[in-house]
Structure 1
Amino acid sequence: MNMENGPNIGGKIIDKSYFDQNGNEIIIKNNTILFFISIYCVRCIQIMPFIKKISNSKKVDFVLFSNGSHEDHKEMISRFKWKFPIIAIDDEHLERDFFIKTHPFFLIVDNFQTVYKKGTINNLEELKSIFHQKKGIEMQLSK
């Protein structure tokens, strides 16, 4: 997993609100997995069917950032039965707000907006490892 992308572990993410596919304001204030994909990225497309597994949590929120259009997001929601917020973000804002240059990428932040874990996902096995790590993270973040 590439760790040189994104903000530093222990660093804070930008305190900013975003709007999801339904126009709802999303403010990242809770323990949250932020997942970043590009609709032009082959690895991102390959892992899309598995994203739902890591998004199902009662203790950790999940937000997907994508450079896709509103129509792209509607299609993904319909196809994969996603129920989490999807935020449209272009590559320029992705790099400016989160220092992220490669996809797919994840950040796990605590309720103080501090980066707890991060990484570039290179294959399905790495995505599965996040899912397994998430169980331990839920326990640590809920203390």
Structure 2
Amino acid sequence: MFEDNLRIKKLVPQKQFLNDKNKKKNIFNSKKETLLIFLSTYCIRCLNLLPNINKLKSLPNVSVLLFTDGDKSDHSDIKKMYSIKFDMICIDEDQLSEDFHVNIHPFFMLVDTKGEIYHKGELKTIEDLIDQISTLNQFTD
């Protein structure tokens, strides 16, 4: 189920996260919209999304960050196996709940350039998510 856009108006945390290359990633005040994908390495539905995750590159002007409960070794293996080019960030369940109020997987949030969440929901398929974002962008362009 998707929570409807433009009414959420919650801000993402004003903090930086370390990606899999130990570079700081700021999701607040970004130059592009940012799609946050939250996956668990223990969730079969999450793992089933990985073969299609690179299709998200088709979204213009959207950067993608993958958050998982895996460690750097898991991220390295996942990136190699699926040729993923997106930044991956380690986050445990407690931090995920505290920072983003997310308690289910797979889940996504679409964040504008000011750090405001304007669309979020449980992630069913990558193709469905692309359709959702493409439809939203038609109305906001």
Provide TM-score, normalisation by structure 1. Answer: 0.86
Q: Do 1:54 and 1:134's aligned partners in 2 also have CA atoms closer than 8 Å?
A: no
Determine the structure 2 residue equivalent to 1:31.
Answer: 33
TM-align CA RMSD: 1.8
Determine the structure 2 residue equivalent to 1:129.
Answer: 128
Partner Cα distance (1:50, 1:91) in 2: 24
SS in 1 for 2:36: strand
Partner Cα distance (2:58, 2:25) in 1: 18
Partner Cα distance (1:110, 1:103) in 2: 22
Determine the structure 2 residue equivalent to 1:47.
Answer: 49
Determine the structure 2 residue equivalent to 1:90.
Answer: 92
What one-letter code is carried by the residue in structure 2 that aligns with 1:60? V
Partner Cα distance (2:131, 2:68) in 1: 23
SS in 2 for 1:119: strand
Partner Cα distance (2:61, 2:112) in 1: 11
Query: What are the within-5 Å matches in structure 2 for residues 1-143 of structure 1?
Result: 1=1, 3=3, 9-28=8-27, 29=30, 30-121=32-123, 123-124=124-125, 127-139=126-138, 143=141
CA apart distance, 1:138 = 4.4
Unaligned runs of 5+ in 2: none
Cα deviation 1:68-101 (Å, max 9, x = unaligned)? 0111100111011111100000000000000000
Number of residue pairs matched by the alignment:
135
Cα deviation 1:35-92 (Å, max 9, x = unaligned)? 0000001110111111111244440110000000111100111011111100000000
Q: Does the C-alpha gap of structure 1 residues 91 and 55 become closer, same or farther in structure 2, counting only changes over 3 Å?
A: farther
Greater share of strand: 2
Partner Cα distance (1:139, 1:2) in 2: 17
Which aligned segments of 4 or more residues in structure 1 are displaced greater than 6 angstroms? none
